[in-house]
Structure 1
Amino acid sequence: MTNANLLKHAMQFLDLTGVGLAEQVSALRDDGKRTAPETISRWVNGTNPVDPFLMGWMTERVRAKLFNSVQPMVELPKDALIIGVVNPKGGTGVTSLCVNLAATAKSLHMKATYLHAEYEDARRRPGLVSMMLKPLRIECPDLSPEKILRYQPAPGEIVFVDVSNHLASNSFIYPTPSDADDRMKPDPKGFLDQFRPDFYLIPANLESYVDAAGTKRFIDGNALHAPKWIVHRPRSMSMKFASVAAKAGLDVESEMVCPYFIPQAVSTSTPIPRDMLSEWQNEDQYNHHYHLLEELLQKLGGRIMESYSLQQEIGTLSLAGLLELAEKTAAPRRRSA
């Protein structure tokens, strides 16, 4: 990129017109002369070479603005992501995990969407969830399972799909007492056999043999057509969960089990902020879900760049690099506005 183009883009980033820049440059001069707006125009158009002093000064202006506005930046592995959260057994924390991850994504200035996959006559809970998420500007469209299957996320959007245990259970054909094979089989007409998210999260309390065995049977049903993680959500800090899971046929050190577990909160109240200006009501829960989202994005090929890392990078970049970073950091905020 030429200096003329760099100057033009820097002026746009700093909200400077030619007249405004001419006034500021004139104020910097120690010879008492003024820089005319026509001089700025000739620089921007490439008619005259840009003053090297001006390029250095503009570089530091852009750097200072980035320092003052730096926020965590999320790089998605693709244009958009759909994350399915599911377990056919009730009480495993599917909705809690979904809601908390959506709120975590929003805290990182992402365009976050919550979808509840449930039968038409049973879609009552989305109203309660919407009351919690809409003050955070998280989209909660009330869509039928058929419309969720066809949902196309916008660029930069991360979608969390809360699959109800009824819809998940009815995605299988169950063996009859006379069947020699007692495994569940996916129903080709079921929701899960048609759903194609980018990743599945399966919350379960692996300290419970019932949860662990049910989760193993669910996975063995082969209805999940995406990479998956079992997310351990313990009620206590017992270290016996690995042996309990092993009895159910699950290896907690396998790639199928998330390396982060999320302890269930003692309080039954929601840990997420009440609105865009509020803090999380349970900082520990925020940290747990932040690390889960961070690990998930890394597994898929994306990343969360922390504010500290961004500040270090900003301090070493050229004007071209600064303007490129400014575009990357501004785009997610524009999409989530």
Structure 2
Amino acid sequence: MSNSLLLRKAMQALDLSGVALARRISTYRDDGRVTAPETVSRWLSGTNAVEPSVLAWLEELLRTKALASPRPIIQWPKKRSIVIGVTSSKGGVGTSTVALNLAVVAQLDFKMKTYHLIPEADSSGQYIKEIRRRIGLDTYLVTFQELLDNKPDDNEIHIIDIHSGAAKDALAGKSSTFLEIFEPDILLIPADFGSRMEIPTVNYFANMENLKGRVRLLHRPRSMNMGFHKTCAKEGLDPASEIFCSTFIPQTKSSQLHIPTEMFGSWRSLEQQMYHQDLLEYLITELGGEVLQSHDTVNQIKAMTLLELLDYLQK
């Protein structure tokens, strides 16, 4: 990228006009000279070379801006994209809530390019429009075939809310069901593993040949009863195995979604926000990626080049 284009992008990121930049440079110069707006125009057009000291100064301004509100930095898996399916054969376990909350965390908190997809769902179009209007999430109703044909671009995460009908088809032994053909990076199955009623069907998914290694079980208890380990053991499941998510998400009394009421609003439940942040970080790590938080993010920002800072701030 040319220095003139770098200058233009840095000015846009800092909301500086040519006149404003010229004035600020003149203020900070220690040689008493004045930088005219025309000089900035010639830098932007490429007529004159941009002074290296100006780019270095803008780089530090961008670094200060980035450090003022550091956000997680995503180191993508080798595959460079992520597809997470969420499903269950039983209604009321929070499949849609988990899928939507994960999508909102990915987009709003982790600043990932996110698509929230619902294949052949019976949700109303108004529900989809409301989500898009309030939080700007890219949510789409798609057919199963569209989903099978779908290939995410690099640095995209697709969160797919697979309704219980698709899971029931697989359990009924129908041939060539969607879940037998579908190949997500991870298939997340929420359930209350303190309930013996929910475990047998989960076991079926865990042993589907094409999903082996992809299934992750999410404990979503209705009450905080640590006896679920014994219940799982009786049904042949080991909560300490890699198939279980290392985090869990307790259900709340309210049936409302925990997403923000608007794009820049606060979450309805900060506790649920934290749970879903932890869950998404775990899933990314399971796929070979990494989420750099707090001091790790700060250290990354301190070492960024001008181009890397621009890329970071534009997400």
Question: Shorter-chain TM-score: what band?
Answer: 0.7 to 0.9
SS at match of 2:116: strand
Equivalence for 1:197: 184
* Equivalent residues of 1:14, 1:62 under 8 A apart: no
Q: Separation in 2 of the partners of 1:74 and 1:47?
A: 37
- Asked whether the equivalents of residues 112 and 157 of structure 2 are also in contact (C-alpha less than 8 Å), the reply is yes
Kindly indicate whether the alpha-carbon contact (under 8 Å) linking 1:200 and 1:226 is maintained by their aligned counterparts in 2. Answer: no
Q: 1:12 aligns with which of 4, 9, 14?
A: 9
Give SS of 2:237's match.
coil
The residue that corresponds to 1:94 in the other structure is 95
The aligned residue for residue 181 of structure 1 is none
Per-residue CA deviation, residues 27-71 of structure 1 (Å, 9 max, x unaligned), is: 43444433465699589969879565x565344333223334643
Q: Which AA in structure 2 matches 1:127?
A: G
Matches within 5 A, 1:70-81: 70-77=70-77, 78-81=79-82
Instruction: Check the 8 A contact 1:235/1:263 in 2, yes or no.
Output: yes
Deviation for aligned residue 1:305: 2.9
Percent identity over the alignment is 30
Write out aligned runs for 1:222-233 (5 A). Answer: 222-224=209-211, 227-233=214-220
Are the aligned partners of 1:133 and 1:140 in contact in 2 as well (CA < 8 Å)?
yes
For the residue of structure 2 that corresponds to 1:217, the secondary structure is helix
Instruction: Name 2:128's counterpart in structure 1.
Output: 130
Deviation beyond 4 Å, 4+ runs, structure 1: 5-8, 16-23, 35-52
Two-structure CA RMSD over aligned residues (Å): 3.2
Question: What is the correspondence of 1:172-183 to structure 2 with a 5 Å cutoff?
Answer: 172=171, 174=173
Q: Which residue of 1 aligns with 2:309?
A: 326
Distance 1:264 1:48 in 2: 60
Distance in 1 (alpha carbons) for counterparts of 2:256 and 2:158: 23
Give the letter for the 1:63 counterpart: R
Q: 1:247-288: per-residue Cα shift (whole Å, max 9, x none)? A: 111111111011101111121222211211321111111111
- Is the Cα–Cα contact under 8 Å of residues 117 and 161 in structure 2 kept in the other structure? yes
Label 1:8 to 1:225 Cα distance change in 2 as closer, same or farther (>3 A): same
- How far has the Cα of 1:231 moved from its partner? 0.4
1:158 aligns with 2:141: no
Alignment of 1:234-249 (within 5 A): 234-249=221-236
Gaps of 5+ in 1: 175-185
SS of the residue aligned with 2:244?
Answer: coil
Contact 1:22 1:40 (C-alpha < 8 Å) held by counterparts: no
Aligned residues of 2:3 and 2:50 also touching (Cα < 8 A): no
The answer (yes or no) to whether the contact 2:4–2:50 under 8 Å persists in 1 is no
Which residue number corresponds to residue 220 of structure 1?
Answer: 207
* Residue 230 (structure 1) shift: 0.4
Q: Residues 309, 46 of structure 1: CA spacing in aligned structure 2 closer, same or farther, 3 A cutoff?
A: farther
Separation (CA, whole Å) in 2 of partners of 1:29 and 1:114: 50
Taking structure 1 as reference, are residues 68 and 226 closer, same or farther at Cα in structure 2, changes over 3 Å only? same
SS of corresponding position for 2:83? strand
- Residues 306-334 of structure 1 deviation map (CA, whole Å, 9 limit, x = unaligned): 355433433x43xxx33243243245x3x
Calculate the TM-score normalised by the size of structure 1: 0.78
Q: For residue 131 of structure 1, report the CA deviation from its aligned partner.
A: 4.9
Query: For residues 252 and 126 of structure 1, do their structure 2 counterparts lie closer, same or farther at Cα, with a shift above 3 Å needed?
Result: farther
Contact 1:212 1:245 in 2 (8 A): yes
Taking the aligned partners of 2:52 and 2:159, their CA distance within structure 1 comes to 51
